[in-house]
Structures are given as C-alpha cells and as structure tokens.
Amino acid sequence: MVAAQKQSKKSTFISRLGSTLVLWAVIVAIFASDHPVPFILLLSAVGALALKEYFGMLRAGGVPHDALWGYLVGGSWIMIPAVNLLFNGSDAIEFLHRADLIILAGAMIGIIVIQFFQPVEGKETIIKMAVTIFGVIYVSYLFSLAPRLLFLPEIEGLRVPGAWLLLWLLAVTKFTDMGAYITGSLIGKHKMVPHISPAKTWQGFFGALVFAELIGLGLFFLMPERLFILGNAWTVAILTAGLSLLAVVGDLAASILKRSLNVKDSGQILPGIGGAIDLIDSVLFTAPVLYFYLTYFAK
C-alpha cells in the first residue's frame, strides 16, 4: 500500500513536471514573438476553457444553472477586453472599466428577466441564478483583468509593455504553488485546512511564501527597468508576500468549489495539473489585486 502511494506520488510529480515544462515552453515562445496577438489569444483561450469547465462541473454535480446565459455573459467578459486591448492597447483600459459595470448590470438584470419565462421551482431557481452569476464573475471577470496587465506600464518602443509584468505575476503565483507542493511533500506534517484540502500543510504554506519571495525579488533585481512600475525593493517584497497569500487563497477557493461538487480536477487537459481552472485558480485572485493596486494605488 505504501509502495503504491509512493509510486502514485512519483507519477503525479512527473506528470505535473512535464505539463509545467510544456506550459513554460509555450510562454517562452509567446514572449519571443514580441506581439500582443499570441498573448491575448492564449489568455482568451484559457479563460474560455475555464468557463466551460465551470459549467461542466455544475452539470456533472447536478446543480441547477443557466449555462447559455453564463456563456453569453462570460464570453463577453473575455472577448470585449481581448478585442479592445488588441486594437487600442493601453487606451482601452478606461473604456473597459465602464464596460465591466455595464456587463455586470446586464448579467444581473438578464438572469432575472430570463426567469420571467420559466417556472419558479423553489430554492432551485435562486440557486440557478446565483451560481450562474457567480461563475461568470469568478472565472470571466477576474481573469479578464490579467491581459490588461500587458498594457498597464508605459514603456516606449515595446508592443507589449507589460509582458514582463505579467510574467512576474505568473512566476510569483506559480512559485507559490510550487513552493507549497515541494515543501509540503518533503516536510509537511501539520495539516492546514484538512476539511478543504487534506494535502495542504502549514510547512507547505511557509515554503510557498519563501519560494514566492525568491522569485519575486529575484526577477525585480534582474529587470528593474522592465518592472519599475512595481516600486522599490521593499514594496516588491510586501507586494510579493500579499500576492503569495492570495495565491494560496485562490487555490483553496478552487478546492472548495471542487469539493462541494465532488470532483477531483476541473478537467483533464493537463496531466498532473488537471484543467484550466486548476491552472489559473491562483491567478484569479492575484491578477485582480495586482491590477487594482497598480491602477489606483501605485505612484
């Protein structure tokens, strides 16, 4: 039994490592292109897959929902930012702030109007409306803020001025996951939140913070001219710690979702990792906070 568990962990680690290497190879290729189209296409595709997985999990779990309305609103929250960023770059940011409010209001009003033409089926009706709106906000809106980081800094001569900023965010987020996984696997003993994620340990949590700080500060010192928008080293250290904490929260949020629906992974597109939601669960929390911090609070 113990040997089988060790073999299973080894197999999972190898699969996860392979998927991670493939993903980073794709990211490197996109960076080499130095063009906004590949960036936007990849992020839009991942967002669309995550939205599809969300409603697929609801369907598999027997939870009432309105997938058609969810796809319409969620798809709009993915495509409108993508198209506007491609054609207008940083000039699209202010428009997208207004578009977010319009889409949100439309989503709320629309889901109620739709119900005028359907029978009211007790609490299942309110559940259907709630989980549909939750899904498009959780997946589509939160993730729609990630591509906006590509055009947030103002660096002359670069077609994708925020490319390294997005890379920094992904590195901090994913090194948090990696640090938690490696440290937890090696020395993890004390369970963190076993009722949500039995594998998470406090040792893994602190390991995640250390890994995140190493990559966050390391990249900042290597590329200060590309990451100047983050501020000074102390600001970067504090910001990295906050984003690392949010990455852990994002991972646990996805665990709550999957556990409540009794599924192990959101999908099977990435061996050892799972689906698109498994891939971006932490980014769903870190990208919005970094975006709002840089937009409204950074000097």
Q: In three state form, how does the secondary structure of 192-249 look? A: EECCCEEEEEHHHHHHHHHHHHHHHHHHHHHCCCCCHHHCCHHHHHHHHHHHHHHHHH
Please give the average pLDDT of every successive group of 10 residues along the chain, which has 299 residues: 51 70 83 88 95 94 95 97 94 95 97 94 95 97 96 80 93 92 84 86 90 96 92 95 96 92 77 83 96 87
How wide is the angle at C-alpha 237 spanned by C-alphas 208 and 185, nearest 5°?
10
With beta carbons less than 8 A apart as the criterion, state whether 141 and 101 touch: no
Say if residues 213 and 237 touch (Cβ distance below 8 Å). yes
What pLDDT does residue 4 have? Answer: 47
| pLDDT score of 18 | 72
Give me the pLDDT at residue 6, please.
52
Per-residue DSSP letter, 229: G
- Return d(Cα 70, Cα 74) in angstroms, integer: 6
Amino acid 10: pLDDT = 63
Q: What is the pLDDT of residue 204?
A: 87
pLDDT value at residue 140? 97
Would you say the pTM of this structure is higher than 0.95?
no
Cα 59 to chain centroid distance, Å, stands at 22
**Three-point CA angle 254, 256, 262, nearest 5°:** 100
Structure tokens at 232: 């000074």
Query: Which of 62, 42, 34 lies closest to 280 in space, CA to CA?
Result: 42
**pLDDT reported for residue 169:** 96
Please tell me what DSSP assigns to residue 136.
Answer: I
Q: Supply the pLDDT for residue 74.
A: 97
Domain spans in the chain, listed from the N-terminal domain onward: 1-33+158-299, 39-151
Residue 156 three-state SS:
coil
